[in-house]
Amino acid sequence: MKSKVNGISGRWPKALGNLGLSPIMLIVFVVVAGLPLFTDNPFTLRLFITAFMTATLAMGFDFTNGYIGICNFGYAAFWGVGAYTSAILVKDFHVPLPLGLLGAVALTAVMGALIGCLTIRLGGIFASCMCWFVSLALLALARNLVDLTGGASGYSATFMFKPKMGYLPYYYLIFAVMLGIFLLLSHFTHSTMGLAFRAIALDDKAAGSSGINHIKYKIINFSISCAIAGLVGAFYIHFVGIMTPTSMSNEKTTEIMAICFIGGRGTIWGSVISSLVLTPILEQAKDLLEWRQILYGLLMILIMIFYPRGMAGLVEKVRSLVLGKARKEAGASEAQS
């Protein structure tokens, strides 16, 4: 068992393991990538596009929450800012769409860095509340700057691809984004930077005294995580066509958080799996309406009480059981011979 992050067997190539590509994740990605070959039902595709967006957001959230231990309770606001930025750039400033996306990413990255600066001296619930207050202020701004954002009725944007092309281009674009972000974040978290993040999460003073510049790392972490939110937001508005201040409120953040925690915090891959499983199930049943929120809430409470480490914890437990058994059997057979 050379490294824990590797898949079921210890022989799995380390390079792949460092990119987070355990056998399970590889299979999941291949299956998901091949899905449009088997179905061209637009409804299914749309469900999975939503799932990919949520998965990416949950990964970005997990990057801050699971690694430096600050729960960014205003995450959806950055998603909204990304959406508004890209749409406004494209529509009002006639910037080409890719540049609009880039602008959204750049702005949210800068804002993330600012939030990182704001929370340097804060920890735990204080930092969460700070993020929350900033997000509330952003939300109120989106509502009040009517000339720029269209106020409470929202801002409509142009679509990314022509309607007759269907959902396929969206599907593969957001799939590529999700995969890219997954590889990137896995790479970061397996590098020394990830180690530094974890050290900061445990104790930032101790981390500082062992030579980790915790301010730098906090700011880097926040700007990466917020830039991801901005990117997904920009994709969202050119996919759905509209963004309203209400949709960037806390309910969105809570949903992302639920997905992340159900998947298992501090794992990156847990968020992907839980989103791919839960989002289609819960989004599909439109008649669930309020029950959907209730289910999210209930799942969150149950997970917090009984399985704080989420699905990832469950998988690890099963794996250690299986491996432990295998090891025992190997030991027994060796002893016999």
Partner 1 sequence: MVNILITALLRGGMYSLMAVGLSLVYGVMNVANFAHGEQYMLGTYFGYFCFMGLGLNPFLCFILALGGGFFIGALTEVVIFSPLRKRSGRNWLMNTFLLTLGLSMILKSGTKLLFGNSYRGITSYFKGTVSLAGFSASKDRVIAFVIAVVVIAVVMVFLNKSKFGRAIRAVSMDATGAQLVGIKLKRIYIVTFGLSCGFAALAGAALLSLTPAYPSNGTQVLYASWVVLILVGLGNVGGSIVGGILVGLLETICIQYLGAAWQDVFALSVVILILLVKPNGLFGKGVKSSVE
Q: Token pair of 232, please?
A: 């997904």
Rounded Cα–Cα distance for residues 138 and 128 (Å): 15
Asked if 191 interacts with partner 1 (CB under 8 A), we say no
Q: What angle do CA 139, 140, 145 make, to 5 degrees?
A: 105
Closer Cβ to partner 1, 92 or 251, answer by number: 251
> Min. distance of Cβ 209 from partner 1 in angstroms?
15
DSSP output for 233-277: HHHHHHHH-EE-GGGGSHHHHHHHHHHHHHH-TT-SHHHHHHHHH
- Give min distance, CB of 141 to partner 1, in A: 6
Q: How far is CA 104 from the centre of its chain?
A: 17
Q: How far is CA 268 from the centre of its chain?
A: 8
Single out the residue of 1, 147, 306, 332 in contact with partner 1 (rule: CB under 8 A).
Answer: 306
- The smaller minimum CB distance to partner 1, of residues 3 and 144, is found at 144
Q: Is 38 in the site for partner 1 (CB under 8 A)?
A: no
Nearest CB to partner 1, comparing residues 3 and 210:
210
Q: Token pair 């997990």 is at which residue? A: 62
Query: Which one of 308, 314, 322, 324 is in contact with partner 1 (CB under 8 A)?
Result: 308
Q: Which stretch binds partner 1 (CB under 8 A): 6-14, 97-105, 297-305, 319-327?
A: 297-305
- 103 or 266: CB nearest partner 1: 266
Q: Among 37, 94, 211, 290, which residue sits at the site for partner 1 (rule: CB under 8 A)?
A: 290
Examine residue 287 and tell whether it contacts partner 1 (CB under 8 A): no
Single out the residue of 25, 101, 130, 312 in contact with partner 1 (rule: CB under 8 A): 130
- State how far the Cα of 193 lies from the Cα of 207, in Å rounded to an integer: 12
Q: Which stretch binds partner 1 (CB under 8 A): 36-44, 79-87, 290-298, 328-336?
A: 290-298
The per-residue DSSP string of 63-102 comes to IIIIII----TTHHHHHHHHHHHHHHHHHHS---HHHHHH
**Residues in 143-162 that interact with partner 1 by CB under 8 A:** 143-144
Q: How far apart are CA 164 and CA 39, in angstroms?
A: 17
Overall residue count recorded for the chain in this entry: 337
Residues with Cβ within 8 Å of 103's Cβ and at least 6 positions away in sequence, in order, are: 85, 86, 89, 95
- Asked if residue 134 binds partner 1 (CB under 8 A), the reply is yes
Among the listed residues 13, 297, 324, 331, the single contact to partner 1 using CB under 8 A:
297
Residue in 142, 129, 126 with CA at minimum distance from that of residue 78: 142
Scanning 3-11, 75-83, 123-131, 272-280 for contacts with partner 1 by CB under 8 A, the matching segment is: 123-131
Q: Is 126 in the site for partner 1 (CB under 8 A)?
A: yes
Nearer to partner 1, 109 or 139 (CB): 139
String marking each residue 66-85 x if it binds partner 1 according to CB under 8 A:
-----x--------------
**CA atoms of 259 and 276, how far apart (whole Å):** 10
For residues 124 and 324, which CB has a smaller minimum distance to partner 1 in the complex? 124
Burial class (CB in 10 A: 0-12, 13-18, 19+), 114: middle
Asked if residue 304 binds partner 1 (CB under 8 A), the reply is yes
Interface with partner 1 in residues 249-278 (CB under 8 A) = 249-251, 254, 257-258, 261
Query: Of the two residues 71 and 113, which places its CB atom closer to partner 1 in the complex?
Result: 71
> In this structure, are residues 61 and 225 in contact, taking their beta carbons and an 8 Å threshold?
yes
Q: List residues binding partner 1 (CB under 8 A).
A: 71, 118, 121-126, 128-130, 132-134, 136-137, 139-141, 143-144, 204, 249-251, 254, 257-258, 261, 290-294, 296-301, 304-306, 308
